[in-house]
Amino acid sequence: MDGRLEHVLIQPSNIISTQAVSFRNGNPVLQFVIGEQDKYLLGGSVRLQGNIQFLTGAANLPPVNASNVALDCKTGVYGIISQVDLFSQRSRQNIESIRHYNRFMASFLPAQTSFQTALGSMGQTALTMPNHEIIRKGVVNNANGVDAASRQFTGSSFCVSIPTGLLNSQEPIPLSSKGWGLGGIICEITLENDSNCLYSTDGAVLEDTYYQLTNLSLICELVTPSVDALSSLMTQKAGSLEYNSISSYYTSVNSTNALVNFNLGVSKALSCVFNVISSTSLNNTTRNGFACLPFLNTDGKVARLGQIIWTRGGVRFPNHYNIDTNIRNLQSTTVYNTADPEVARQALGSFMPVEDNKHTQFSPASINREIPVGAAIDDIAVGGWNWCYGQTWDSVSNEGIDFSSVSLGIQMDVSLLTDNPQTIFLYVRHKNTLVFNESGLQVIS
C-alpha cells in the first residue's frame, strides 16, 4: 500500500483521574477509541501497554514471598482480559466480540509458543512464565514502586497484542467514515474479576487481594494513504474485509454420557477447540480459574475420556467414526497416564495445521492423566496443564463448513461418576465478511 506510517498512542477514554484501574474498585471496562479518519490501521501493530501491580491486605501492598497469592503462568497478563469487543465508532455496531478471552488464551498461547518463548519474549511482554513459582515471585510479588523515593512506576510493565480476527487479518483496516472504511474503531476490554484470575497456592481463600493497572494506553501504527491513493479511495463508496474470527460458547456437563449441542450460527466454520474446568473452580480464589484440565471427579481424580464423537446435524462429521481413546478398552483399575495421541493431535491442529506448528508447549508432561489431587492442582513444573479437545473441519479449501442451520454435537464417554459439574468453554474459528458503506456496516458470519 502506498502511504506514510505513523505511530499513535491512545489513552483510554473512560478511566478515572488517578489513572489507576482495577476491577475491584469499579473499573471493569477499558475503552479505547481509534477515531474515524482517512487512514488505515495496521491491526498487527495494536498493543495494550501499561503496568500491572498485585496488592493484598489492608495496607494494599504487594504480596511477600511467603504469601500464597498466585497468577496463572500460561496466560500472564492475558488472564485479566475477560472479553474483547470491537465496535464501529460511527455506527456503534458490533464488529467482533470474544467472550472468555482469557480461557481461550490459556489454550491458544501454549499451543502456539515454545517453552523458551513463554519464558523469553512472551515473558517480557505478556508476563508469562512456564513455572508457577517464578511468576509468583517475579510478577505477583514484584515490589517495584513500593518505595516512594526513586519510584518510576509500579508493578510490572507489559505490552501485549490483542489477538482477534479483525486485528490479525493481515489487511490494513480502513478507518474512514466516507464509505471506504469502518468509521473508526472502539476497542472495549472487559477486565476479569480478581477471584477468577488470582488464586492461592495452598487452597486458602484470598482476602483483599486484587490487581491494579496503571499507565494504560493503546499503541498502534496508522497509514496515511498518498494523495493519489486517497483521491482514488474517496470515490469508493463501499468495501469489504474478510477475516477469521473466534466465537465463544459455554456449557456444562455432569454425566458419564456427556452430550453437548451448540447452535453455532456461523456459515464458514473452520475449526473448534474446547477446554474444561470443574465449575467449582471458577470465580474461586482457592483454584486457578484458567487451569486447562481433563474431566475430574469430586475427589479430584481424572474422569477418563473413553470416546469422543463429533457430529454435525446429528451425523458424524468430519470423522465418520468414533474416536476411541487409548484407555477405552483398559480395565478401570489399570494405570495408564499417557494421553491419547489422536485427541491431542486434533486439539493442536484446531489452532493451525499440526505440520506447520513448530513451537508448542503441548507435551506428555503437560497433557497427562496423572493429575495430583489437591489445591496446587495446576502447579506442574513446566507451565500448567494443557488439556483441550478440538476438531478441524476444513483445512483444505479454507472456505469453512456451514453450521448456520445445523448444530454442532459432541458426544463423550467419560467416567464422570460423581456429582461434579464440568464447565466447557468452546471456541469456534470461522470466517467473517465485513461489508461497509456510507450508511453502516454488516458482519456476515
Label residue 326 exposed, middle or buried (CB < 10 Å: 0-12, 13-18, 19+): middle
- Write the DSSP string, 134-161: HHIIIIIT--TT-SSTT----SEEEEEE
Label residue 276 exposed, middle or buried (CB < 10 Å: 0-12, 13-18, 19+): buried
Stretch that binds another protein, among 45-53, 104-112, 342-350, 390-398 (CB under 8 A): 45-53
| Cα–Cα distance, 87 to 90 (Å, whole number) | 9
| Other beta carbons within 10 Å of 285 | 22
Q: Which residue from 28, 120, 203, 300 is in contact with another protein, where contact means CB under 8 A?
A: 120
| Cα–Cα distance, 19 to 11 (Å, whole number) | 10
Question: Would you mind telling me the total number of residues written for the chain in this entry?
Answer: 445
Q: Is the Cβ of residue 66 or residue 315 nearer to another protein in the bound state?
A: 66
- Write the DSSP string, 308-372: EEEEETTEE-S-SS-EE-TTTTS-TT----BPPHHHHHHHHHTTS-GGG------STTTSBS-PP
Q: Is the Cβ of residue 139 or residue 428 nearer to another protein in the bound state?
A: 139
Cβ at position 220, least distance to another protein in Å: 11
| Cα–Cα distance, 380 to 75 (Å, whole number) | 15
116 part of the interface to another protein, by CB under 8 A: yes
Stretch that binds another protein, among 103-111, 114-122, 391-399, 424-432 (CB under 8 A): 114-122
Q: Which residue from 59, 66, 149, 315 is in contact with another protein, where contact means CB under 8 A?
A: 149
Cβ at position 223, least distance to another protein in Å: 9
Cβ at position 390, least distance to another protein in Å: 23
330 part of the interface to another protein, by CB under 8 A: no
326 part of the interface to another protein, by CB under 8 A: no
315 part of the interface to another protein, by CB under 8 A: no
| Cα–Cα distance, 55 to 46 (Å, whole number) | 28
Q: Collect all residues with Cβ–Cβ distance below 8 Å to 222 and sequence separation of at least 6.
A: 5, 6, 8, 37, 39, 40, 41, 42, 175
Q: Which residue from 221, 269, 344, 377 is in contact with another protein, where contact means CB under 8 A?
A: 221
Q: Which residue from 26, 147, 320, 321 is in contact with another protein, where contact means CB under 8 A?
A: 147
- Write the DSSP string, 12-49: -SS--TT--B-TTTT--EEEEEE---SSEEEEEEEEEE
Cβ at position 296, least distance to another protein in Å: 16
Residue where the block lists cell 486484587: 210
Stretch that binds another protein, among 12-20, 27-35, 155-163, 294-302 (CB under 8 A): 155-163
Q: Which residue from 141, 196, 275, 445 is in contact with another protein, where contact means CB under 8 A?
A: 141
Angle between helices 341-349 and 101-112 (to 10 degrees): 110
7 part of the interface to another protein, by CB under 8 A: yes
Handedness of CA 101, 106, 160, 20 (dihedral sign): positive
Task: Round to the nearest angstrom and report the end-to-end CA distance of the chain.
Answer: 27
13 part of the interface to another protein, by CB under 8 A: no
Site residue total, another protein (CB under 8 A): 63
Of 178, 183, 175, the closest CA to residue 236 belongs to 178
Cβ at position 439, least distance to another protein in Å: 33
Q: Which residue from 146, 238, 330, 373 is in contact with another protein, where contact means CB under 8 A?
A: 146
Residue where the block lists cell 490487581: 211
41 part of the interface to another protein, by CB under 8 A: no
Q: Which residue from 335, 396, 405, 419 is in contact with another protein, where contact means CB under 8 A?
A: 335
DSSP H or E run through 106:
helix 101-112
Residues 353-392 close enough to bind another protein by CB under 8 A: 364-365, 368, 370, 372, 376, 379-382
| Cα–Cα distance, 138 to 405 (Å, whole number) | 49
Q: Which residue from 20, 219, 352, 417 is in contact with another protein, where contact means CB under 8 A?
A: 219
Torsion of CA 337, 339, 340, 344, to 10 degrees: 180
Cβ at position 7, least distance to another protein in Å: 5
Q: Which residue from 138, 203, 239, 440 is in contact with another protein, where contact means CB under 8 A?
A: 138
Cβ at position 79, least distance to another protein in Å: 16
Q: Which three cell numbers stand for residue 81?
A: 482480559
Q: Is the Cβ of residue 130 or residue 225 nearer to another protein in the bound state?
A: 130
Stretch that binds another protein, among 17-25, 100-108, 125-133, 397-405 (CB under 8 A): 125-133
203 part of the interface to another protein, by CB under 8 A: no
Q: Is the Cβ of residue 135 or residue 344 nearer to another protein in the bound state?
A: 135
CB 259 within 8 A of CB 375: no
Cβ at position 327, least distance to another protein in Å: 14
Which residues contact another protein by CB under 8 A?
4-9, 45, 47, 49-51, 65, 114, 116-117, 119-121, 123-125, 127, 130-139, 141-147, 149-153, 156-159, 215, 219, 221, 335, 337, 364-365, 368, 370, 372, 376, 379-382
